[in-house]
């Protein structure tokens, strides 16, 4: 792969560490906090994790290092979708490992958890790792979505660790991956393998956070990347003055990305899935809400605008959620084969009409034909509708167009509506990490090795106080079980890390809520521009508005 001038310079960037990690490995000691319990279902979680539940939170501080001196052989995997900064987690882990003892070894297992099961690995050295410092992507060892969740898999992993003399595994991933990390840690402890497991919080969706994990890595860079594009679209919209842009952004289960992009760019409309669910908004109500903005701006001679749509919003609309459930039931088992055997859409439509309830059919009939057909595209592995394939940005623009036509017929609207559509997803997952993510991720990796060195198992690498300059960040660890609750998954109760949704009484949403009426009617666009890597701290090292508002004193 050819190297750009920016990449050459970014290789030389020295990520900033929290103050206590800058003192040198020999001068870091542990301060223990209180014992922990899970966020819910305490007795059930405790029963499932008897060896790793209830452990104490810890922070690192300046003091004499009292950890056991021994050679460490560590394995690392990247799990799940890409997020900017993943390479720096590995670089921080490697540098801390080598700073402690040059004979320490870091194995990188290729392609995610499957690499660990298949014993497919490389051993990092300076020459190899230096090619990936401060770069985006997960191509350093690749990633994958294989889940580590069965005792058979755990036994294989234990054998692989024994073969290489591995003392610890670091799993870099999201909520599911770190849930798997907790289960693997419990297995290792129960079977006295002597192998530790440490997790690192990753997801651009921003839904892996709580009172301890202030921000998952990659969220900062991804939202800044999307916001740059949305800002460019806003400027184009304000220049051409003839298009309404509907922009779908990542966020299947939560709307953190949409909200942060709205805070950065101040579009005319931004839907928040959690609010849609809370208010039990119907398709018609959402359509009317967007159309109101279009009409109000048209009345001022502005037939243009920008609307941000979260990827998973349709699942939060009660009537649409019921429709999806009925479609899943309609095509369960062999019935899917009967449906797919039908030759024409007219025949399939009749099949659908015969199988849905009257209420759901009324909702289905409202949808544009292209969206109707998307609901019957290839199913996910569990036979369910793949909601992420639904072009919700086109759905809402089509419904708004019909709504405006009715208003025009009634004489209450006389504007022009020309929609354009965008989906921002992969564009943000492998961007050059911002200074914040480069620093944060390096700190997470460095900190993960300190947790290993002090013998912790089933912990998540934790760096907090993130809205402050990096030298004021606080490094430590928390038991993964503290984040867990029980959820119904595929007919079984499973322990999982609780997803963090947008809090409607939280400061970021309140800030947005107080201003959106003005943004809806007026052109209040903010053009954030590209991520900056060089220059004043207030330009280059700031984090997201979400985090700044959450931690505002």
Fold of the 5-218+433-481 domain: Rossmann fold (3.40.50)
Q: What is the mean pLDDT of residues 535-543?
A: 92
- Structure confidence by residue, pLDDT tens digits, 128-182: 999 999 999 999 999 999 988 899 999 999 999 999 999 999 999 999 999 999 9
> At residue 383, does pLDDT exceed 80?
no
Per-residue pLDDT, 189 = 97
> At residue 320, does pLDDT exceed 70?
yes
C-alpha to C-alpha distance for 22 and 10, rounded to whole angstroms:
21
Query: Please, what is the average pLDDT of the chain?
Result: 94
Per-residue pLDDT, 389 = 77
Residue of 95, 176, 205, 437 marked catalytic: 205
Maximum C-alpha span of the chain: 80
Per-residue pLDDT, 384 = 66
Per-residue pLDDT, 233 = 98
Q: Where does 222-318+385-426+506-547 sit in CATH, by number?
A: 3.40.50.460
Per-residue pLDDT, 380 = 64
Non-local (6+) Cβ contacts of 352 within 8 A are 327, 330, 361, 364, 376
Per-residue pLDDT, 333 = 78
Please, are residues 90 and 445 in contact by the beta-carbon 8 Å criterion?
Answer: yes
Give the C-alpha distances (Å, rounded to integers) separating 103 from 60, 73, 98, 171.
24, 9, 7, 22
Per-residue pLDDT, 473 = 96
Per-residue pLDDT, 553 = 62
C-alpha to C-alpha distance for 192 and 4, rounded to whole angstroms:
48
Sequence ranges of the domains in the chain: 5-218+433-481, 222-318+385-426+506-547
- Structure confidence by residue, pLDDT tens digits, 141-156: 999 999 888 999 999 9
Confidence of residue 248 (pLDDT cuts 50, 70, 90): very high
Question: Could you tell me where the beta strands, DSSP code E, fall in 20-161?
Answer: 28-35, 56-62, 73-79, 105-109, 121-123, 143-144
Per-residue pLDDT, 552 = 87
Per-residue pLDDT, 382 = 58
Confidence of residue 13 (pLDDT cuts 50, 70, 90): very high
> At residue 325, does pLDDT exceed 90?
no
Give the C-alpha distances (Å, rounded to integers) separating 143 from 48, 55, 113, 138, 177.
28, 30, 8, 6, 12
- Which of 52-66, 188-202, 374-388 is least confident? 374-388
Q: What is the mean pLDDT of residues 336-358?
A: 91
> At residue 490, does pLDDT exceed 70?
no
> At residue 121, does pLDDT exceed 70?
yes
Per-residue pLDDT, 362 = 92
Tracing tokens 């079977």 back to the chain, one arrives at 191
Give the rounded percent of residues in the chain with a pLDDT score beyond 70: 98
Q: Is 493 a catalytic residue?
A: no
Per-residue pLDDT, 157 = 97
Tracing tokens 């030759």 back to the chain, one arrives at 343
Question: Could you tell me where the beta strands, DSSP code E, fall in 84-132?
Answer: 105-109, 121-123
Per-residue pLDDT, 143 = 96
Per-residue pLDDT, 408 = 97
- The answer to whether domain 5-218+433-481 and domain 222-318+385-426+506-547 are alike in fold is yes
- Structure confidence by residue, pLDDT tens digits, 195-206: 999 999 999 999
- Which of 36-40, 58-62, 64-68, 309-313 is least confident? 64-68
Q: What is the mean pLDDT of residues 281-302?
A: 97
C-alpha to C-alpha distance for 468 and 95, rounded to whole angstroms:
24
Q: What is the mean pLDDT of residues 18-33?
A: 87
Please, are residues 49 and 186 in contact by the beta-carbon 8 Å criterion?
Answer: yes
- Structure confidence by residue, pLDDT tens digits, 426-466: 999 999 999 999 999 999 999 999 999 999 999 999 999 99
């Amino acid at each position: 792969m050819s190297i750009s001038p920016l990449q050459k310079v970014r290789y030389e960037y020295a990520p900033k560490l929290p103050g206590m990690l800058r003192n040198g490995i020999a001068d870091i000691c542990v301060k223990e906090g209180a014992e922990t319990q899970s966020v819910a279902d305490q007795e059930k979680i405790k029963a499932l994790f008897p060896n790793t539940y209830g452990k104490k939170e810890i922070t690192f501080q300046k003091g004499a290092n009292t950890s056991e001196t021994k050679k460490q052989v560590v394995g690392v995997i990247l799990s799940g979708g890409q997020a900017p900064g993943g390479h720096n987690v590995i670089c921080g882990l490697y540098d801390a490992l080598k700073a402690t003892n040059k004979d320490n070894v870091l194995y990188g297992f290729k392609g995610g958890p499957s690499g660990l099961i298949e014993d497919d690995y490389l051993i990092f050295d300076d020459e190899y790792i230096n090619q990936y410092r401060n770069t985006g992507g997960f191509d350093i060892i690749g990633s994958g979505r294989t889940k580590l969740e069965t005792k058979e898999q755990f036994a294989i992993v234990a054998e692989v660790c024994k073969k290489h003399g591995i003392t610890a595994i670091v799993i870099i991933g999201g909520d599911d991956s770190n849930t798997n990390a907790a289960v693997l840690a419990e297995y290792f402890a129960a079977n006295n393998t002597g192998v530790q497991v440490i997790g690192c919080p990753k997801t651009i969706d921003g839904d892996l956070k709580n009172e301890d994990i202030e921000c998952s890595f990659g969220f900062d860079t991804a939202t800044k990347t999307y916001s740059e594009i949305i800002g460019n679209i806003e400027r184009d919209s304000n220049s051409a003055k003839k298009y309404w842009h509907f922009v779908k952004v990542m966020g299947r289960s939560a709307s953190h990305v949409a909200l942060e992009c709205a805070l950065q760019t101040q579009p005319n409309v931004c839907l928040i899935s959690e609010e849609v669910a809370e208010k039990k908004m119907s398709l018609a109500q959402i359509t009317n809400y967007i159309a109101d903005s279009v009409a109000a701006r048209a009345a001022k001679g502005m037939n243009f605008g920008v609307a941000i749509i979260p990827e998973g919003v349709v699942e939060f609309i009660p009537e649409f959620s019921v429709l999806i459930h009925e479609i899943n039931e309609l095509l369960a088992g062999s019935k899917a084969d009967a449906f797919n055997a039908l030759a024409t859409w007219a025949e399939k439509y009749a099949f659908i009409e015969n199988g849905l309830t009257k209420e759901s059919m009324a909702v289905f009939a409202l949808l544009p034909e292209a969206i109707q057909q998307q609901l019957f595209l290839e199913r996910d592995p569990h036979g369910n509708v793949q909601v992420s394939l639904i072009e919700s940005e086109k759905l809402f623009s089509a419904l708004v167009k019909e709504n405006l036509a009715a208003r025009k017929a009634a004489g209450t609207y006389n504007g022009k509506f020309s929609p354009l559509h965008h989906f921002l997803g992969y564009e943000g997952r492998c961007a050059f990490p911002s200074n914040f993510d480069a620093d944060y991720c390096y700190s997470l990796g460095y900190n993960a090795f300190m947790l290993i060195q002090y013998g912790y198992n089933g912990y998540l690498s934790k760096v907090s106080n993130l809205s402050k300059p990096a030298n004021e960040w606080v490094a430590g660890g928390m038991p993964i079980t503290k984040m867990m609750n029980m959820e119904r998954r595929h007919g079984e109760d499973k322990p999982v890390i609780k997803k963090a949704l947008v809090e409607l009484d939280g400061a970021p949403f309140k800030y947005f809520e107080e201003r959106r009426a003005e943004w809806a009617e007026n052109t209040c666009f903010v053009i954030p521009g590209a991520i900056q890597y060089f220059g004043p701290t207030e330009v280059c090292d700031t984090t997201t508005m979400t985090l700044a508002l959450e931690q505002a004193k």
